[in-house]
Structure 1
Amino acid sequence: MNEIKHIFFDLDHTLWDFEKNAALAFEKIFEELDFEIDSQEFITTYNPINVAYWKLYERNEIDQESLRVNRLKDAFEAIDYPISLEQINTISNLFIAYLTTNNHLIDGTIETLEYLKDNYKLHIITNGFSFVQEVKLQKSNLDKYFITITNSELAGHKKPHENIFQYALSLANASKNQSIMIGDSIEADVLGAINFGMKAVYFNPANEHVSHEEIIQIQKLTQLKNIL
């Protein structure tokens, strides 16, 4: 790790607490639309469906519109709540609008970034929709920590494709051996970076089993202090 000069972070689920912020957004939406749905129960159903659709999106098996609509459609079907396509589109638009009105961060985010910022150049690589990710970074005051922001729309490729990592390194004027990727997705962030030739750290707060035993894992962001 002595060669590392550039640290690349994923955003959602790694620094920005998507689950908590999404639950608050849905709570506001259901109240506004007078839906008798428990937002916490809904988010518990929605989260794994959302993750599954994001994996399809990352593999270019679905487009952005399918992701936007079908993750909600499947979640409402799973809780057996009748809903029209028009209502799904309304909720989807409100969700994007309300998601960034709350900007809770993963525990240890600021402490960790403050520790790293003086000795490393920090960057973001995200597959999230660019206009939403920019607002998240600004409203959460995370943007001040990062020199470059790479999103999949600008790069033309999504993680785990090697081209997005190449784009990010070129933007940061960094080399592979000087760079490390930190993220919560074993496939998109960690294996994507490793297959490209970068080092990587798997942020695994749930301590899920990983078949790749050689991969460096952390359960808390502050554990990066022991690595970097």
Structure 2
Amino acid sequence: MKLNGITDIFFDLDHTLWDFDKNSKLTFDKIFKINDIEIDLDEFVSVYEPINFQYWKLYREEKIDKKNLRFNRLHDTFSMLKLEVHETTINKLSDDYITYLSTYNHLFSNAVDILHYLSNDYTLHIITNGFNQVQRKKLVNSKIDVFFKSVTDSESVGVKKPNSKIFNHAITAANTSAEQSIMIGDNLEADIYGALDVGIDAIFYNLNNTPVDNSIKQIKDLQELENYL
């Protein structure tokens, strides 16, 4: 079903266009070698990812700040793995992670093709809860920055998705309206419900086959956006 009246498309970045999990794992492999940390990478990632997910939820809800997010997700993972890592080393790993993360720039399958396709008829934008400096490097280094007219990040706005303020800020920056816009992202709470609450239509990129209400538009592959747009 093609959607009518849409002029502007807002994308989330991490886990939607930019393959965060793959790039993150490559980054950890690099920084563990740099810092002489002997650890099974697959085991580390399996413990780290759910911890990181929970800390990002706390960060979205304004319950922790950036510094504590970056430190505690590593500290808690090493504790779970019963690996003693000094606080100084954790801080160094935290800094190295941010430094090297944007040097790996794997995108999801069909990401570039769908951006080319959509950019012919729509104006494209980014709304991200990531950190300003890192997110812009990701866009530039993965060579997809050219597709987007505006980039709205939570660090610059001062609030995070699903807060209505970041969506309204993005709409203003894009010089468009909620009625003419649609949001595409992988997080039901932050991207989909956040957009719908301010009157922006939304499509859920359901990578993990999350059960959702039939009223929610969803795709399993970015190419499926052609069915809607």
Q: Could you say which TM-score interval applies, normalised by the shorter chain? A: over 0.9
- Residue 45 of structure 1 aligns with an amino acid whose one-letter code is V
1:19·1:43 contact (CA, 8 Å) conserved in 2?
no
Matched, 1:129 2:131: yes
Q: 2:207 aligns with which of 205, 208, 227?
A: 205
Matched, 1:28 2:14: no
- Residue 120 of structure 2 aligns with an amino acid whose one-letter code is D
Offset of residue 164 of structure 1: 0.4
Matched, 1:120 2:122: yes
Paired residues for 1:14-25 under 5 Å:
14-25=16-27
Q: Which moved more, 1:27-36 or 1:131-140?
A: 27-36
- Residue 226 of structure 1 aligns with an amino acid whose one-letter code is N
Offset of residue 156 of structure 1: 2.0
The residue number in structure 1 matching 2:96 is: 94
Structure 2 Cα separation of the partners of residues 148 and 111 of structure 1? 20
Structure 2 Cα separation of the partners of residues 98 and 117 of structure 1? 30
Offset of residue 76 of structure 1: 1.1
Could you state the TM-score of these two structures normalised by the residue count of structure 2? 0.97
The residue number in structure 1 matching 2:220 is: 219
Task: Tell me the secondary structure at the aligned position of residue 147 of structure 1.
Answer: strand
Structure 1 Cα separation of the partners of residues 87 and 197 of structure 2? 40
Identical amino acids, percent of aligned pairs: 49
Give runs of ≥4 in structure 1 deviating > 4 Å: none
Task: Tell me the secondary structure at the aligned position of residue 160 of structure 2.
Answer: coil
Task: Tell me the secondary structure at the aligned position of residue 14 of structure 2.
Answer: coil
Offset of residue 40 of structure 1: 2.5
Structure 1 residues 53-103: Cα deviation after superposition (integer angstroms, max 9, x where no partner): 111101101111111111111111122211121111010011011111110
Structure 1 Cα separation of the partners of residues 44 and 114 of structure 2? 31
Structure 2: segments with no counterpart, 5+ residues? none
Structure 1: segments with no counterpart, 5+ residues? none
The residue number in structure 1 matching 2:45 is: 43
Could you state the TM-score of these two structures normalised by the residue count of structure 1? 0.97
Paired residues for 1:174-213 under 5 Å:
174-210=176-212, 212-213=213-214
Structure 2 Cα separation of the partners of residues 29 and 45 of structure 1? 17
In the alignment of these two chains, the number of paired residues is 227
1:22·1:43 contact (CA, 8 Å) conserved in 2?
no
- Residue 154 of structure 1 aligns with an amino acid whose one-letter code is S
Structure 2 Cα separation of the partners of residues 63 and 206 of structure 1? 28
